[in-house]
Amino acid sequence: MGFFTDTSICIGCKACEVACKEWNLVPDNGLELRGTSYDNSGDLGANTWRHVAFVEQTRPAGQRPVALGMPAMGPPAGQQAADPDRDVSWLMMSDVCKHCTHAACLDVCPTGSLFRTEFGTVVVQEDICNGCGYCVPACPYGVIDLRPGDGRAWKCTLCYDRLRGSQEPACAKACPTDSIQFGPWDELRERAQQRVARLQQQGVPNARLYGADPTDGVGGDGAFFLLLDEPEVYGLPPDPVVTTRDLPAMWQRAGAAALAAAGIIAAAFLAGRR
């Protein structure tokens, strides 16, 4: 099971953020405007499991925005535009933990706090987490985080308790435009590919899928996205790679080095006895 988030129909209402916090009892994280358009939650973290990003873009006046139906935004009534020759538009995206197929956080967790559920999602068992923080740098997306004052790791569970009760996640349930869609991963991917083809036919050549390729560096994401611009524009890594991919080779080299060192020590010991 997984998420397909269609950013082309996200209206930035933040209903998903509110529903996530209410259902999962996620603490307040300040919610202060940060001078980056209408973004007041910053990024994903221990206290923000859904983050609605507002990517503010400017372009020459009269030029069509990246997405169809994305209007040029003039200044508020009674105010003058800072630059009357340029229009402003927004790309909106509700971001979330990607629930990677090859999840590095699972590889490095020493307590088994992180586990793969029967739905294919990745969940933290906070009562087992010892707060070591190994999972934080292991995540290629910078999603998982330690909660201040608590010390344990927290992230989106894809509403594991709701899934076990045959309910869809709270964010998908609350989304008024169906920008966030939940269901079997293969069905969502097929639907997403059809949506991209339709948008491209309608004159949105930048429409693309992100995280839906099972051959990418993380084996595909359980939560993938339809984007209207390059991933970097949304703050996403263009080529995510599971950070633990080199661990087997590293352990092999370490083992070989340890055996070589042991051999040298043994040879020196025997030479000393002679």
> Domain of 192: which CATH number?
3.30.70.20
Same domain for 165 and 97?
yes
| Residue 75 annotated in ligand binding | no
**If you write DSSP's letter for every residue of 72-97 in order, what string do you get?**
PB-PPTT---S-TTEEEEEEEEEEE-
Same domain for 172 and 260?
no
| Residue 97 annotated in ligand binding | yes
| Residue 231 annotated in ligand binding | no
| Residue 33 annotated in ligand binding | no
**If you write DSSP's letter for every residue of 112-135 in order, what string do you get?**
S-EEE-TTS-EEE-TTT-----TH
Task: Look at residue 266 in the predicted model and tell me its pLDDT.
Answer: 65
Task: Look at residue 252 in the predicted model and tell me its pLDDT.
Answer: 46
Note whether 155 and 145 are within 8 A (CB).
Answer: yes
| Residue 267 annotated in ligand binding | no
- What is the residue range of 24's domain? 2-70+86-234
| Residue 135 annotated in ligand binding | yes
Instruction: Give the strand pairing for 223-227 and 2-6.
Output: parallel
Q: What are phi and psi of 6, to 5 degrees?
A: -95, 100
Same domain for 206 and 120?
yes
Task: Look at residue 215 in the predicted model and tell me its pLDDT.
Answer: 86
Give mean pLDDT in consecutive 10-residue pieces for the chain, a chain of 274 residues: 93 93 88 73 89 83 55 48 67 93 91 93 92 91 90 93 93 95 93 94 92 87 93 90 64 53 67 64
Task: Look at residue 164 in the predicted model and tell me its pLDDT.
Answer: 93
Same domain for 182 and 213?
yes
Same domain for 270 and 197?
no
Q: Is residue 239 part of a domain?
A: no
| Residue 129 annotated in ligand binding | yes
Same domain for 214 and 252?
no
Same domain for 266 and 138?
no
In one-letter notation, the amino acid at residue 175 is C
Q: Is residue 20 part of a domain?
A: yes
* Letter string b/e over residues 221-249, b meaning 16 or more CB atoms within 10 A of that residue's CB: bbbbbbbbbebebbebeeebebbbeeeee
Q: Is residue 77 part of a domain?
A: no
Same domain for 144 and 270?
no
The 10 Å Cβ neighbour count of residue 163 is 18
Same domain for 253 and 137?
no
| Residue 16 annotated in ligand binding | yes
Same domain for 206 and 258?
no
Name residue, tokens 């923000």. Answer: 48
Full-model pTM: 0.77
| Residue 20 annotated in ligand binding | yes
Same domain for 127 and 194?
yes
Number of domains in the chain: 2
